[in-house]
Amino acid sequence: MTIPDDLYTEPESSPDTLANLGPLRRLAGIWESDKGVDINPKADGPERRAFRERIVMEPIDAQANGPQLLYGLRYHIHINTPEEATTFHDQVGYWLYEPATGLIMQSLAIPRGQVALAGGKADGDTITVEARRGDTQYGIASTAFLEEAFRTDYYRLDITFHGEDSWSYVSRTDLAIKGRTPAFEHRDTNTLRRVAGPVPNPLATLAD
């Protein structure tokens, strides 16, 4: 990445985030599915569980890091299982797109004391982002307990679009579990369908 000499001047941005999201435009909206599958580690071996998922992705106003301009989506993922009403997984974060370079980023935070920033690009109908423990650009940070007992060494998310109203994903997380080798490959898969279209970002609403 080339860093310009002027680190402070911000570029002109559009008030319409949806028109500038590039490959992320197809993720905007509300999505649901009851076809998710989770493969997770247990003491007796891998466990397979089905889950229900709801994802809300809302456009945000453009963001600038000096000369770097980003458009994005704020998202919330909520997952529970058919047999339980309690939350199986909860996650919040941002999807970000840099039009100048094609860079795509996903930030994520889960309420077990873990955050990550993953980076990647789009290729046709697919998006792939990755993060690695110890990477100072696209890395993973966890609590002391998780670092010792269930250390996350690698994260990858592959998204495939099926037209405008459906997409699927494969999520891979490599877990180094205390006392076990090799690392456990934790996988989640699902295919979601749009149940509501996106709402404009706040600045676009004011511009109208």
User: For residue 44, what pLDDT is reported?
Assistant: 87
pLDDT > 70? residue 208 = no
In this prediction the pTM is: 0.95
Considering only CA atoms, which of 74, 99, 83 is closest in space to residue 50? 83
Q: State how far the Cα of 105 lies from the Cα of 98, in Å rounded to an integer.
A: 9
The per-residue pLDDT of the chain, averaged, comes to 95
Q: pLDDT tens for residues 67-82?
A: 999 999 999 999 999 8
Q: For the chain, first and last CA: distance in Å? A: 36
Q: Region 64-69: what's the mean pLDDT?
A: 96
Out of 1.10.40.50, 2.40.128.20, 3.10.310.10, 2.40.50.100, the CATH code matching 18-207 is 2.40.128.20
User: For residue 154, what pLDDT is reported?
Assistant: 98
Q: State how far the Cα of 168 lies from the Cα of 161, in Å rounded to an integer.
A: 7
Per residue in 88-120, is it b (16+ CB within 10 Å) or e — as a string?
A: bbeeebbbbbbeeeebbbbbbeeeeebebbbbb
Domain ranges of the chain: 18-207
Q: pLDDT tens for residues 132-159?
A: 999 999 999 999 999 999 999 999 999 9
